[in-house]
Structure 1
Amino acid sequence: MAAAVTLFDVVAVRAGRPAAAWRRHLTAELATRPVNDIWMLTGAAVTAVAGVWLIVLALTPGLRRWLPLRSPAPRLRAFLDRDGAAGLLRDAAMRVPGVSKARITVRRHHVSARADVRFRDPRHVKEDLTAALDDERQRLALASPPRIVVALRRRN
């Protein structure tokens, strides 16, 4: 919120309007206070700690590789690795007749399936592949099931 107000004021100044009173007061205070003032040192320390904390948050790995699973108990948490989910879905895709090669990518909100079709009509393969992937997706018991996007390529 503070960033939005500051940005609005900066844009207004760039457009030719005078700066807001709070901003004029703040710049006057910062210009007249000595550097060794306790409020200046406190503000610098808080800003430095916030900056270090943001750097630590940026460098630590998150849980983006993990997909949360549905849990029967509210305190029980379980996760599935994206690569593991992709492997299970790939195995299900390879069991569909007519699919000779499958590549599965699992994202947070969608599953991309690319498959090569050899000897069947691609429309039938797409229907069977979508159904097989949907069944396997239901078996995975993900907390928020991603949608399935299927793309086929005809190979001779």
Structure 2
Amino acid sequence: MSGEHPTETLPTVPGGHREDGGAHQGAYEHRRAGRFWSSRRVPAAIVAAVVLGVSGLFLYDVVSVRAGGAEMYWRRWLTRALEGQHLDGVWVMAGSAAAMAVGLWLIWLAATPGLRAVLPMRRHVPGVRAGLDRDAAALVLRDRAMEVSGVQSVRVRTKRHKVKARARSHFRPLDDVRSDLRAALADGVRDLGVAKAPSVAVRVRRPKKKD
């Protein structure tokens, strides 16, 4: 299991649960377990570096002009280039679209949790959160699928809302293998303990015959 922040480890009490913990745990289990928020250090560092560089360059040029020096060449070139542009020009529209796309991307990063590779697990105890890596969940489900009679090989992909399994069966009717495989994966998904159980999609076919 993984997450953005380290999770706490609960002590194990021999002989069962606490006397007053059962009702509280059952009530807390119905609370929504949201996704883990990513700190997004790389996008934040890139934006900070760009803003710092551009603002520093403009500040240096403004201070230089105020002190009696000449403005930098790039600002004179930019001023002359913008004088001949119109609001409906191709370069103006393209630049505006690019700036809007970058702005929407930054807003999306700020408003969404991120960490799509971590599936939140059900919360049983206040103050404790746990997450399960999707690749680890796929590996567990693959082992569960290989226990189904008739399955020769299987590939499992775990997403946030769906588990996709593609299997090859070398004996037994395909419909029977498909039904047993779907039931086994559904049980496996429930045993994972994720907060929002993804649906299961199964495809079964015969292996290709060798010439």
TM-score by length of 2: 0.45
What residue identity is the alignment partner of 2:144?
A
Residue 98 (structure 1) shift? 0.5
2-side partners of 1:62 and 1:143: how far apart? 17
1-side partners of 2:126 and 2:164: how far apart? 30
Question: Identity over aligned residues, as a percent?
Answer: 51
Once the two structures are superposed, residues 70-118 of structure 1 have per-residue CA deviations (whole angstroms, 9 ceiling, x without a partner) of: 0102321100000000000000000101000100000111000100010
What does 1:113-132 correspond to in 2, within 5 Å?
113-132=165-184
2:161 to 109, 122, 128: 109
Once the two structures are superposed, residues 92-145 of structure 1 have per-residue CA deviations (whole angstroms, 9 ceiling, x without a partner) of: 000101000100000111000100010110011011101111111111011000
Structure with the higher fraction of residues in strand conformation? 1
Unpaired runs of at least 5, structure 1: 1-50
User: Which secondary structure does the structure 2 equivalent of 1:64 belong to?
Assistant: coil
1:140 to 177, 192, 196: 192
What does 1:46-57 correspond to in 2, within 5 Å?
54=106, 57=109
User: Which secondary structure does the structure 1 equivalent of 2:155 belong to?
Assistant: strand
Residue 54 (structure 1) shift? 2.6
Matched, 1:153 2:205: yes
Question: How large is the RMSD of aligned CA atoms in angstroms?
Answer: 2.2
User: Which secondary structure does the structure 2 equivalent of 1:88 belong to?
Assistant: helix
TM-score by length of 1: 0.61
Moved over 2 A (4+): none
Unpaired runs of at least 5, structure 2: 1-102
What does 1:40-119 correspond to in 2, within 5 Å?
54=106, 57=109, 62-119=114-171
User: Which secondary structure does the structure 1 equivalent of 2:202 belong to?
Assistant: strand
2-side partners of 1:106 and 1:148: how far apart? 9
Once the two structures are superposed, residues 8-42 of structure 1 have per-residue CA deviations (whole angstroms, 9 ceiling, x without a partner) of: xxxxxxxxxxxxxxxxxxxxxxxxxxxxxxxxxxx
